[in-house]
Amino acid sequence: MIKALLFDFGQTLVDSADAFRTAEKEAKETLFSYLSSSPDGLSWDLFLPCYRRIRKEYHQNSNFSRLAIWQAVCDAFEQKPDPHLFEHWEKDYWLQVGSRTRPFPETEAALVELSQQYQLSLVTNTQGQKRSGKHRLALFPQLERFFQVIIVAGESGVPPKPHIEPFRLCLEQLGIHPGEAVYTGDDWRIDICGAKNAGIQPIWLQHHSVTRNWPDVETDTPIITSLGELYDLVPRIS
């Protein structure tokens, strides 16, 4: 019997797609200007593939620290990073993402309905900022109030998803077994595979309003396009 519903945050409860695209574009161009101002200069054609490669490598390792990514790009071009300047950029980056992020239209109503029958919890990865406790969920108290347990993986010694530990820790705090929980998330590797490896039934949210190239994988994981579909789906899993 399903007792608890666990959720990811970004692109699951809230839409941050345009927010990240805008913040990423500006940060990328700012970093290029910083590097190309050196005496040796730097062309965009050299910078862009290197930047994309490093960003991909960090994301694949569940490291979303913009500061770490920008420093690695500087190292690749044998240029000295400015940690204080980069920290300022990173703060602006996340402020911009937060200001442009909006809950999906059905999110709050879905949480209201689901919380009447299930325990609700959040298992999300840190954004990689230096200071903990600053996850974007805090910007949405109307959503935060529904969650009995909130695990921000990648902080306080908890490894980031897809490691099984943040899922296990959430179950432990809820006092339930893996078979008594369902996890809903949008990312195939981090959310779906992570939950499955922890013994939790995953549900893959491919939200209908998100423009995205979803991984082409063969899976028996249920796929939904709106949180409202959980009302009927979860009882069938039970």
pLDDT per position as a tens digit, 13-52: 999 989 999 999 999 999 999 999 877 678 999 999 999 9
Question: What is the pLDDT at residue 130?
Answer: 52
pLDDT at 231: 96
For all residues of the chain together, what is the average pLDDT? Answer: 93
Provide the pairing of β-strand 223-224 with 14-15: unpaired
Q: What confidence score (pLDDT) does residue 132 get?
A: 44
Which has the minimum average pLDDT: 126-135, 158-167, 173-182, 198-207?
A: 126-135
Half-sphere exposure of residue 133: CA atoms within 13 angstroms, side-chain side: 0
pLDDT at 134: 56
Mean pLDDT, residues 57-74 taken together:
92
pTM here?
A: 0.90
> What is the structure's pLDDT at 139?
85
The most distant pair of C-alpha atoms in the chain lies apart, rounded to whole Å, by 65
Q: What are phi and psi for residue 126, nearest 5 degrees?
A: -65, 155
Distance of CA 112 to the CA centre of its chain: 22
Give domain limits for the chain.
4-15+102-237, 18-100
The answer to whether residues 32 and 95 touch, using CB atoms and an 8 Å cutoff, is: no
**Tokens encoding 23:** 């913040």
pLDDT value for 98: 87
Mean pLDDT of 143-157: 94
pLDDT mean over 153-160 = 91
Task: List, for residues 71-103, the tens digit of each pLDDT value.
Answer: 999 999 999 999 999 999 998 998 899 889 999
pLDDT bin (cut points 50, 70, 90) of residue 129 is: low
**What's the topology of domain 4-15+102-237?**
Rossmann fold (3.40.50)
User: To the nearest whole percent, how much of the chain has pLDDT over 90?
Assistant: 82
pLDDT value at 203 more than 60: yes
What's the pLDDT at 128? 62
d(CA 117, CA 108): 15
Q: Would you say residue 161 has pLDDT above 90?
A: yes
Residue 156's pLDDT is 87
Per-residue pLDDT at 221 exceeds 50:
yes
215: which residues sit within 8 A by CB, 6+ positions away?
188, 189
